[in-house]
Structures are given as structure tokens and as C-alpha cells.
Amino acid sequence: GGNTSGWEFKAVIKRGANAGTTALVAAVTPTLIAQDAGASTWAVAVTADTSNGCLAVAVTGQAETTIRWVCLLESTEVTY
């Protein structure tokens, strides 16, 4: 019943010998699909987490507002 916002992104990430070598192959810019006017300050960022060796999705909402965030992530992993 409140404000809503939705983004979509595609990313390629790789991890070398350890978590510290995890890196995005190219910068990721999430594409805004739709957003209510009241959600105009909300944002999403996609980065490489070099502490855990994985993809990180971080969100920013607005002060003093409860926001229920959901992330659907589909991935393919190759190991050798």
C-alpha cells in the first residue's frame, strides 16, 4: 500500500584464488523499471564483495521509513 520501486541489472563477476580477488568484469548500472514519486530517493548498487568473495547488492531507502526490500537473483556458477 506504500511506495514501490523496481530495478533490473545484469552482471558478470569473477573470483580468483581468494575472496580478495573478487571483481566485477565491468561496472554495473541498475536500470530503473518503475518508481512511485515517493520512492525517488531510493537507490540500488551492485558491487564485488571482496571480504566474502561474492556479488553484493546494497540498497538505500529514506530516513525514518520502513521499507521491505526483496531481491531475486538468478546465477550460474562455473568452477575449475
Q: Which are the contacts of 36, defined by CB distance < 8 A and separation ≥ 6?
A: 3, 4, 5
Considering only CA atoms, which of 3, 21, 18 is closest in space to residue 62? 3
Report strand pairing: 5-8 vs 31-35.
Answer: antiparallel
What is the full per-residue pLDDT of the chain (80 aa) written as tens digits?
689 999 999 999 999 999 999 999 999 999 999 999 999 999 999 999 999 999 999 999 999 899 999 999 999 988 87
Beta strands in 1-80 (DSSP E): 5-8, 13-14, 23-24, 31-35, 43-49, 54-60
